[in-house]
Amino acid sequence: MNRTYALVGILVLLFGAIAYTTYRIWHILPLPQWGKTAVAGLYLLCFLVIFPHYMLGSRMPFSLAAATYEIGNSWMIFFIYALMFFLALDLGRLVHLVPKDFVINSLAGTCTVFGIIIGLLTYGGFHYHHKYREAIEITTEKQLEKPLTIVLDHQPYHLEDAEAAGADFQFSGHTHHGQVWPGNWLTDAMYEKAFGPHQRVKTRYYISSGLGIWGGKFRIGTRSEYIVLKLRSEGRSVATGPRE
């Protein structure tokens, strides 16, 4: 029951935020009524295309499923930043730092908001594709000649289970570390460890942010990576690989 209430609360907040950003887009655009209607309709349509992907799943043709996934999730990233900037503008109006004509039928306001968002996504795309190498060391007390217990678990839930079982090392992913800021704040709150090395007593962990993405190829405030784990006879586990 608590999960149901939480889900309902999240949906109410989500649709409220969508309605708020639609309202703000409608008012800030310096366009005639038909132009505002077209832009607001396209904005809402981009949200709607993601639902067939999750509702129909494998019953959709792959090309259509891929398109709805990419468009819907990429638009969610745009929506996150639109919501943040519109809230910032309204807060600025409340403290008299932002004039009313900057957010009502304003070419300057429109160019500022959408210019910043496009700049962020351009940076996020560059950051996703820009790769470099960095060595990561994870030490273990056991020698290679002794049996090692390694847990591979896609989702880093219940890390205490590996510790209780006496595992030496657990390798997990799934979180993407939120992919874009402030998503990393959410994953940090959701998981005991959302990214990087971790330790519980004698059990070591590494939670990878992975190469994977939700929707568009953007990384803002997080990094993409893949890890190659090497076990050495002197008892060290060394993970190395390109990190982005």
> Which of 199, 228, 212 has the alpha carbon at shortest distance from 139?
199
Residue 137 phi/psi, 5-degree rounding, is -110, 135
Number of C-beta neighbours around residue 27 at 10 A: 14
Residue 231 has pLDDT above 80, yes or no: no
How much is the average pLDDT of 152-176? 90
CA gap 94, 99 in Å, rounded: 10
pTM reported for the whole predicted model: 0.79
> DSSP 3-state assignment of 146?
coil
pLDDT (0 to 100) of residue 244: 47
Residues 20-79 pLDDT 10s: 999 999 999 999 999 999 999 999 888 888 777 677 766 778 778 778 888 888 888 889
Q: Sheet containing 228-231: which strands, arranged edge to edge?
A: 132-139, 236-243, 228-231
At residue 235 the predicted structure's pLDDT band, cuts being 50, 70 and 90, is: very low
Mean pLDDT of the chain, nearest integer = 83
The dihedral formed by the CA atoms of 36, 39, 42 and 44, expressed in degrees to the nearest 10: -60
Kindly state the tokens that stand for 141.
């007390």
Per-residue model confidence as pLDDT tens digits over 88-104: 999 999 998 999 889 89
The type of residue at 117 is I
Q: What is d(CA 71, CA 68) in angstroms, rounded to the nearest whole number?
A: 5
- Which residues neighbour 162 within 8 Å (Cβ) at sequence distance 6 or greater? 151, 153, 170, 200, 203, 205
Return the half-sphere exposure (C-beta side, CA atoms, 13 A cut-off) of residue 53: 18
Query: What percent of the chain is predicted at pLDDT more than 70?
Result: 86
DSSP one-letter code for 193: -
